[in-house]
Amino acid sequence: MSLHDIKGKPARMQLPDGMVDRRNHERREALVRRIVAEFDDMPGLALTLQQASRFLGIDHAACGRILAVLTRNGALRRTAQGVYVRADRQAKPA
């Protein structure tokens, strides 16, 4: 699987009567594409959650949720040091 294969999936849920879904799915999908593009354009990119949030200009909590999804989907992996890297990047020998 390559980073180009990752596509966001809109969450579908039934909201109680009178409640409105305030999430902006288009904006979230744009953020996911941007994060994937950053890691794709710079294969050596290695960022902590705090660094990624600052680098990408995304709220810390939202950035964490998106990175977690990309990790679960296999596009990224999180090292033992808590650094996010492309999943296809080989670990450096110790």
* Cα angle: 57, vertex 62, 67; to 5 degrees: 90
pTM for the structure as a whole:
0.69
Nearest C-alpha neighbor of 36 from the set 62, 73, 90, 91? 73
Q: Give all domains of the chain, ordered by start, each with its CATH number.
A: 22-86 (1.10.10.10)
Alpha-carbon span 52 to 22, nearest angstrom: 25
What's residue 90's pLDDT?
Answer: 62
* Residues near 82 by beta carbon (within 8 Å), at least 6 away in sequence: 48, 49
pLDDT in tens, 31-42: 899 999 999 999
